[in-house]
Homo-oligomer: A and B are copies of this chain.
């Protein structure tokens, strides 16, 4: 159900095409909500059909037309209602942690490479988050309230990514001390 409200919230920020929304999910919203373009297009079609959105056909000189979606009043009402109900915390499902549970079957060398990869990913994520922070939220205290909350959503990504890097250090040390039998 929540994808629908993620879309409504994104369109409340500003009207956008399916393509643009997909990109937002991959960039600014990456630490908030994830959705593929297939999901986005399908849900937009449904929302439009239900009268929660309006479309505007945007002509482009060379490229084919694109459809810009706007939040309509019924959509805004739905969103408001959803915002007032508390939602369950997302369940954890991390295949890497599953692997640690089968610890004695893991290969030592392979694990260290995985850890190095994950560290690289976390570091570039952190770089990206910080670049967004610098671009959009330079002086948080001077920002209007809702931008400050968006900043806090970003802070969530930063804090957890930093925590993850800490954890990777711990993990690497443990593995290096010879946590596994093989390798």
Contact = CB atoms under 8 A, between A and B. Distances in A.
Contact of A153 (B88, B97, B150): B97
A48 interface: no
Contact of A103 (B10, B91, B102, B147): B147
A152 interface: yes
A170 interface: yes
Interface stretch (A49-57, A62-70, A154-162): A154-162
Q: How many copies does the complex hold?
A: 2
A132 B96 CA distance: 20
Nearest to A101: B9
A98 B33 contact: yes
Contact of A5 (B29, B79, B98, B171): B98
A27 interface: no
B163 A34 contact: no
Contact of A98 (B6, B93, B110): B6
Main secondary structure of the interface of A (DSSP, over half): helix
Interface in A122-145: 140-141, 144-145
A90 B101 contact: no
Contact of A149 (B95, B103, B144): B103
Given A9-B102, A100-B149, A152-B174, 8 more contacts: A8-B102, A29-B101, A32-B94, A32-B100, A90-B95, A148-B179, A155-B167, A160-B167
Contacts of A9: 98-99, 101-102
A117 B177 CA distance: 40
